[in-house]
A and B are shown apart, each in its own frame.
Chain A
Amino acid sequence: MTELTFPAVLRRGLPRARYIALAVRLAAAAAIAIYALTTPGFLTLLSANALFTAISFVGCVAVGMTFITLTGNIMSLAIGATVSASALIFLACLSLGILPAILVALLFGVVITGAQGFLVGHLRANPILVSVAALSLLLGGAAFVTGGHHIYPSGAGLEIFKDRFAGIPIDAWCFFTTVAVGQFILSWTRIGRLMTMVGSNVRAATAAGVSTTATVTAAYVIAGACASISGILLAARYGSGDMEIGVGYDYTAIAAVLVGGTGIAGGSGSTLRTLVGVIVISVIEVVLLLRGFSEQLQYLITGLLVLCVIMLHTLGERR
């Protein structure tokens, strides 16, 4: 016999918020799909696999970023620059042969990002500040070494990156492998579990005897390796590199991570979700491009989308 006021009705509905969130998500996916498929040129793009290639570069970065977010450290602002720098290093080392070049580039990404992870994990330094410092170091170092010039490859053998396997470009294969390996690490290895624990509650993890230093460093190492893979693919695809090549990848990657549904607070997430996020974001970007929206508008729309998704997630989690 209670008189219901509006907020009470609203809150009474909240246990169902989860389903509402799911429904909204499906509806949004359908809307995006229809909008994309009716965009002139989209189908050709699909059939030409251009979309696959486009998502692979930022996709690898996003998979790596998932690990940083998952361990509760939000994101690294230095990842875009790490992509560029890895591309440069890869190209510069090509004269040694393709495999050594890949290894050197990977090593670079792992060390520079792993070092951030060590600082964050061991000293509990603020992850954003650490990554800003790393960003300045990278930009300064690169400017010093290259003098701001482009680098062109000094060896051959890049053709193999332009191959296809089973009709799918090599870049896309690399990306899908990263997703699969990432997910494997999260679900099937001990270090993956420890990352979830640390991300969900650092103090509880410490009390349970988990080494936060090792765990967080491992997460950053993976992120660094992913960034380097992205840089190598980019360099191979375009045959040249400069420090601009990875600009903005960190933002797009974190957007994809969040849209996919990995919680920004840490402790939950998966690279499969990130895969979905990457596809959504990339499709929207491509469609906006095809429809002739200006770049500014593209940013704006992507930004709004991320905001909506985050609100949707919080709604889904509330009781």
Chain B
Amino acid sequence: MPVLAIDGVTKRFGPNAVLKDVSLALDAHEVRAVCGENGAGKSTLVKVITGLYAPDEGAVCVDGTPVVITSPQHAQELGIALVAQELSLAPALSVLDNIWLGNRKVPLLHRRQELRARARAALDKLGLNDLALDTPASALSIGRRQLVEIARMLTRDARVFILDEPTATLSDVEIERIFAALRALKAEGKSVIYITHRLGEVFEICDSVSVLRNGDLVGTRRTNEIDRGTLMQMMLGRSLGEMYPAWESSPGDPMLMVKDLHVPPLVRGFDLTAERGTVTCLAGQVGSGAITVLRALAGLTPGASGEASISGKPMRLRTVARAQAADVKFISEDRAGEGIFLRLTVGQNLIATKLKDHTAFGLLARRGLRATAASLAAAVGVDRKRLHSPADELSGGNQQKLAFGRWIGGDRPGVLLMNEPTRGVDVGARAEIYRLIRQFCDRGYCVVMASSDIEEVLGMADVVVSMYRGRQVARYRRGETDMQRILADITHPAAA
């Protein structure tokens, strides 16, 4: 008998059906991937299972009996644990408190020592040996927060574990540890639902895969019976050409020069040269400093110091205004917190950085703004009909497209800094974004991106800079390196 079954579930928001008659069954010892494009309904499905949304039709069955899951607490009592797509740590609380926050199994009178020990064990399992339990969550990088959320899930005494895009900000090193933890759960007879856009992971860790498209269940297959192409075909309803655009990599003249960048406590003395019309990728695991470097260059780190210049003109660090005056554009890794305005509309998000171009004497040219919003929506492939919906009604991947869209346009080519640019973006849209990035290059932009996805790094980079603990390990031109070499660099660099 399946541990968890979803039986003919339909969920509507207003007139739109987001899930249409979806049924799946999950056995013990099974790791099930759920794949689908942005907005296919994956997160909605998870929210139905965890009691955040009530299905309009159909039921969720646990051990063969239909249950009405009324709240996430109720789901927890039924043995369902979740790592949600958006980060959900309380910033002011310590790592320890966050791990036990909301856990129904912790009695009012408990032994703190025991909780500490169990939290420690879960963190160690994920390679966070150096993370003190009393660190406030707000002090952690995005990647580490994600890992803490997974540790929280591991401490839950559950039978079904659901992970909604847990690896979007993590590199292969951390992902391998998560996989080890998941395999252990599987061996104990637990079930896992694993949502991801990285197809490699589907074949590596999952036994079976269910594909959603526009709210319909396209089908469920065993992973050893299909290949990547078939899976993509199922997701998109068409076959995708090449994921990464083909281009001739040719060195340009140096545009962004960084000398002796210090961002305490992580980055000490980092140098970087990035060329016009090329993509430079910083590759590193969580805590490598790749993301920190780009944040500092975007002017978001008050403690940063060092020399930076763009096309020979020195740029002052530490304020966003200076960076923008020097044509530096930045896409944040923290989409919900900093990347976009969740409570504003899609249109307002797209024009967030365009107001200046449509202002005369302080007054807005609203018609021009509307036109710009519409054309940007078209450029990144967001439905125009959604321009007036609040951004938080979009699926995670479509939200990422908004963050991207606001930097399209502008007359002078500048420097585009991106942290995890395809975080949570589906394969189809990802190919789209890669094309957009290359277009930026063709127009003379210098693109620097920090990515934890080595496959993406190899597919996109003209220059790869591998990083470990705030330092550069090596620098390769396109074609000079491969997966193994980068992986070795970012984990056990020979020099360190």
A-side interface residues toward B, CB under 8 Å? 1-5, 7-8, 11-12, 15, 188-191, 193-194, 196-197, 200-201, 203-209, 211, 267-268, 319
Q: Within 8 Å CB of A197, what residues of B?
A: 341, 344, 348, 352
Closest chain A residue, CB of each to CB of B298: A207
Among A190, A206, A209, A267, max chain B CB count under 10 A is at A209
Name A's interface SS: helix
- Binary interface encoding of chain B residues 308-348 relative to chain A, with 1 for a CB under 8 A from any of its CBs, else 0: 00000000000011011000001010100111111110001
CA distance A319 to B71 in the complex (A): 13
Query: Smallest distance from the beta carbon of B114 to chain A beta carbons, Å?
Result: 33
**B355 touching A194, Cβ below 8 Å:** yes
**B343 touching A15, Cβ below 8 Å:** no
B83 at the interface (CB under 8 A from A): no
**B330 touching A207, Cβ below 8 Å:** yes
CA distance A288 to B409 in the complex (A): 58
B356 at the interface (CB under 8 A from A): yes
**B321 touching A1, Cβ below 8 Å:** no
CA distance A268 to B341 in the complex (A): 12
B68 at the interface (CB under 8 A from A): yes
Known: A200-B344, A208-B353. 9 other contacts (CB 8 A): A5-B68, A12-B54, A189-B364, A191-B362, A204-B340, A207-B330, A209-B353, A268-B343, A319-B13
15 contacts between A and B (CB under 8 A): A2-B66, A11-B70, A12-B54, A188-B364, A189-B363, A190-B364, A197-B341, A197-B352, A201-B342, A205-B341, A207-B300, A207-B330, A209-B323, A267-B341, A267-B343
Q: Give the size category of B's interface with A.
A: 35 or more
Query: Smallest distance from the beta carbon of B336 to chain A beta carbons, Å?
Result: 9
Q: Within 8 Å CB of B152, what residues of A?
A: none
Q: Within 8 Å CB of A205, what residues of B?
A: 341
Among A1, A4, A208, max chain B CB count under 10 A is at A208
Known contacts A201-B342, A207-B298: A4-B321 contact under CB 8 Å: no
CA distance A267 to B342 in the complex (A): 10
Q: Within 8 Å CB of B324, what residues of A?
A: 209
Query: Smallest distance from the beta carbon of A81 to chain B beta carbons, Å?
Result: 31
Closest chain B residue, CB of each to CB of A194: B355
B107 at the interface (CB under 8 A from A): no
B32 at the interface (CB under 8 A from A): no
B56 at the interface (CB under 8 A from A): yes
Q: What total of A-B pairs shows CB separation below 8 Å?
A: 89
Known contacts A1-B66, A12-B56: A211-B321 contact under CB 8 Å: yes
CA distance A196 to B324 in the complex (A): 21
The 4 closest A-B pairs by CB, nearest first: A209-B324, A203-B338, A190-B359, A2-B59
Known contacts A8-B68, A190-B364, A267-B344: A207-B59 contact under CB 8 Å: no
Query: Smallest distance from the beta carbon of B137 to chain A beta carbons, Å?
Result: 15
**B359 touching A207, Cβ below 8 Å:** no
CA distance A267 to B337 in the complex (A): 14
B-side interface residues toward A, CB under 8 Å? 13-14, 53-54, 56, 58-59, 66, 68, 70-71, 298, 300, 320-321, 323-324, 330, 332, 334, 337-344, 348, 352-353, 355-356, 359, 362-364, 366, 406
Q: Within 8 Å CB of B366, what residues of A?
A: 188
Q: Within 8 Å CB of B13, what residues of A?
A: 15, 319
**B320 touching A5, Cβ below 8 Å:** no
CA distance A102 to B324 in the complex (A): 40
Q: Within 8 Å CB of A319, what residues of B?
A: 13, 53
Closest chain B residue, CB of each to CB of A189: B362
**B364 touching A193, Cβ below 8 Å:** yes
Query: Smallest distance from the beta carbon of B388 to chain A beta carbons, Å?
Result: 14
**A196 touching B344, Cβ below 8 Å:** yes
Known contacts A4-B68, A197-B341: A206-B364 contact under CB 8 Å: no
Query: Smallest distance from the beta carbon of A191 to chain B beta carbons, Å?
Result: 7
**A201 touching B68, Cβ below 8 Å:** no
Partner of A8, one of B54, B348, B362: B54
Closest chain A residue, CB of each to CB of B407: A208
Closest chain A residue, CB of each to CB of B324: A209
Q: Within 8 Å CB of A5, what residues of B?
A: 68, 70
Partner of A204, one of B58, B298, B339: B339
Q: Within 8 Å CB of B66, what residues of A?
A: 1-3
Partner of A208, one of B53, B56, B343, B352: B352
Closest chain A residue, CB of each to CB of B56: A12
Among B56, B353, B364, max chain A CB count under 10 A is at B364
CA distance A2 to B339 in the complex (A): 40
